[in-house]
Structure 1
Amino acid sequence: MKTRRIGDRTVGAIGLGAMPLSIEGRPDEARAIATLHAAFDAGVTLLDTADSYHRDAGEEGHNEALIARALAAYGPGAERILVATKGGRGRPGDGSWTVDGSPGHLKAAARASLRRLGTDAIGLYQLHKPDPRVPWADSVGALRDLVDAGVIRAAGISNADTAQIREAHTILGPALVSVQNRYSPEVRDSEPELQLATELGLAFLPWSPLGGISRSALDGPGPGASGAAARPAHATAFHKVAAQYGVSPQQVGLAWLLARSPAMVPVPGASRPQSITDSARAADLELSAADLALLDAEDALAPA
C-alpha cells in the first residue's frame, strides 16, 4: 500500500475507522477482530478510535480494548500499527453524545485510554470536539501537558475550524500532527481546514469519508465495500468512474480524497473483513485528470 505521513510516522494511505466495531449494530467479537486483522493484512497501519466508541452505559473504551486484544492476537507486525484515539466526548448509553473538554477530564481520559491500549504511550491522541464551555487554549493545553508527561507521543484535534487549528499549532508546535474533520464527496465544507492542514504539514484524517456514496443499482447487493449498506441506489459520477475501472464506488471515493491533498489519510469505517480489504485497494487506484475533474464537480453525486 502507498503511504502517507503523520508527524514522524509513516502509515498506509488508507486507515480504518474502528467505530462500527463497537457501537449499535456492531458485529460479534470474532468478526470484529477478523476485520481488524484483515485491515493489517491489507497494509492498513492507522486505526482511528475513541474512548466514546461504545454502545451501552458502563462500557466506555470498548473499542480501545477491542483493538488492544486484536493487536495482541495478531503477533508479528502489530508494532507497525499507529493507534489514534480521542477523548473529550461521552456516550451516556441513551444514544446521545456529550462533550467535556476540561483539562482535568482530558488528562484522566487519556490515562484511562493508555491503560486500555496497554502501551507505554498513546501514539496519537486527539481532542474529539471543542467544548464551548471551556477555553480552547485550556483544552489544547491539556494535550501539551500530556505530551510533556509522556502519556501521549503526538496530538491532534478534531472538528476544529481554521482559527482553532492555528491556535493549537501555536500551543503544541511540532507535537500537533493531525486534524480530523468531516470531509467526503457529499460534505466538502472543511476545504479551508484541509488547505490549512496541508500548509502546516498536518495530516488530515476525514471522518465519514464515504458520505454520499451508496452502492449502484447496477452493482446489485454484492459483498458491499467500506462499510456501506448494500442497498439499491442511483448511479452517480463515482459509480460511472468505478464501472470504468472495475472497482467499487467506495474505492473511487477514497482515491478521490487521496488526490485532494498529500495530507489526506482517509479512515473509512468497516465491520466486515471484505469491506476494509476493498477500501485498502483505493490507496493504489490512480484516477486520471479527467476522472478527477468529473468527480470534483458539485453535481458529482447527482443521479446520472
Structure 2
Amino acid sequence: MRQRTIGKITVGAIGLGAMPLSIEGRPDERRAVATVHAALDAGVTLIDTADSYHWHAGERGHNELLLARALRSYGGDTSGVLVATKGGRGRPGDGSWTVTGTPGHLKRAAEASAGRLGVEAIGLYQLHKPDPAVPWAESVGALRDLLDAGTIRAAGISNVTTAEIREAHAILGAGLVSVQNRYSPAVRTGEPELRLSESLGLAFLPWSPLGGVSRSALDGPPGPAGAGTVFHRIAAERGVSPQRIALAWLLARSPAVVPVPGASRPTSVQDSARAAETELSEAELARLEAAPE
C-alpha cells in the first residue's frame, strides 16, 4: 500500500476507523476481529479508536480491548501497526456523548487506555474534542505532561479550529503530529484546518470520510453512469465502488491526508484499502473538486 507519515511514523495511506466494531449495531466479535485482520492483510497500519467507542454503559474501552485481542490473534507481524486512541469524550449509555477535558481526566484516561491496549506507551493519543468548560491550553497541557511522562509517544487533536491548532502547536511543538477533523465529499468546511495542518507538517486524518457516499454500493455492482453524485458516476465509469473514488479523492487533496474510513465487514475494509492504489486523472479530479452534486 502507498505510504504516508504521521510525525516520524510511516503508515499505510488508508487507515481503519474501528468505531463501528463497538457502537450500536456492532457485529459479533468473530466478524469484528476478521475485519481487523482483513485490514492488516490489505496493508492498513493505522487503526483509529477511542476509549468512548462502546455501546452500553459500563463498557468504556470496549473498542480498545477488542483491538488488543485482534492484534494478539493476528498471525502476521504487527510491530508496524500504529493504534491511535482518543480521550476526552464519554458515553453514558443513552446514546448521548459527553465532553471532559480537564487535565486530571485526560491523564487518567490515557493511562487506562494504555492498559487496555496492553502497551507501555500509546503510539498516538488524541484529545477527542475541546471542552468548552476548560481552557484549551489546560487540556493541551495535559498532552504535554503525558508526552513528558512517556505515557504517550505522540499527540493529536480532534474537532478543532485553526486557532486551536495554532495554540496546540505552540504548546506541544514537535509532539503534536496530527489533526483529526470531519472532512468528506459532503462536508468540505474543514479546508482551512487541512491547509494549516499541511503547512505545519501535521497529518490530517479525516473522520467520517465517506460522508455523502452511500455504503450500499459495496454490496452490488456499480449503478448506471448517470445515477447518484459525481462520485457515483465516476465509480460507475471505472467499475469500482464510489467509496474507493471518495477515498482516492481525499488522498489527492493533500499529502498530509490519511483517511480513516470505518468498517464492520472484511469486504468493506478491503475495498477501502484499494483506494490507496487508485489514481484519479486530472479530468476526474476537476469534476470532483466541484461542489457536491
Q: TM-score, normalised by structure 2?
A: 0.97
The Cα offsets for residues 102-159 of structure 1, whole Å up to 9 and x where unpaired, read as 0000000000000000011000000000000000000000000000000000000000
Are 1:297 and 2:293 an aligned pair?
A: no
- SS of the aligned residue for 1:79 comes to coil
* Aligned residue in 1 for 2:237: 244
Deviation at 1:223, TM superposition (A): 8.5
5+ unaligned residues in a row in structure 2: which ranges? none
What amino acid maps onto 2:212 in structure 1?
G
Matched, 1:156 2:149: no
C-alpha separation in 2, matches of 1:14 and 1:234? 27
1:257/1:266 contact within 8 Å kept: yes
Deviation of 1:80 after TM superposition, in Å, equals: 1.2
Q: For 2:59 and 2:96, how far apart are their aligned partners in 1?
A: 15
Structure 1 segments unaligned to the other structure (5+ residues): 225-232
Instruction: Report SS of the residue matched to 1:10.
Output: strand
Residue in structure 2 matched with residue 282 of structure 1 by the alignment? 275
Name the residue aligned to 1:119.
Answer: 119
Matches within 5 A, 1:86-165: 86-165=86-165
The correspondence for 2:258, drawn from 248, 265, 289, is 265
Deviation at 1:220, TM superposition (A): 8.8
- The residue type paired with residue 4 of structure 2 is R
The corresponding residue for 1:56 is: 56
Amino acid at match of 2:288: L
Deviation at 1:244, TM superposition (A): 2.0
Distance in 2 separating the partners of 1:220 and 1:141: 43
Alignment-derived partner of residue 37 in structure 1? 37
Shift of 1:222: 2.0
State the shift of 1:236 in Å: 1.4
RMSD over aligned CA atoms reads 1.5
Shift of 1:221: 4.5
Distance in 2 of aligned mates of 1:193 and 1:100: 23
AA of the residue aligned to 1:291? E
Identity %: 73
Corresponding pairs, count: 290
Distance 1:223 1:67, change over 3 A: farther
**3-state SS of paired residue (1:134):** coil
Task: Determine the C-alpha separation between the residues in 2 that align with 1:270 and 1:223.
Answer: 19
Answer yes or no: is the 8 Å Cα contact 1:114–1:120 preserved in 2.
Answer: yes
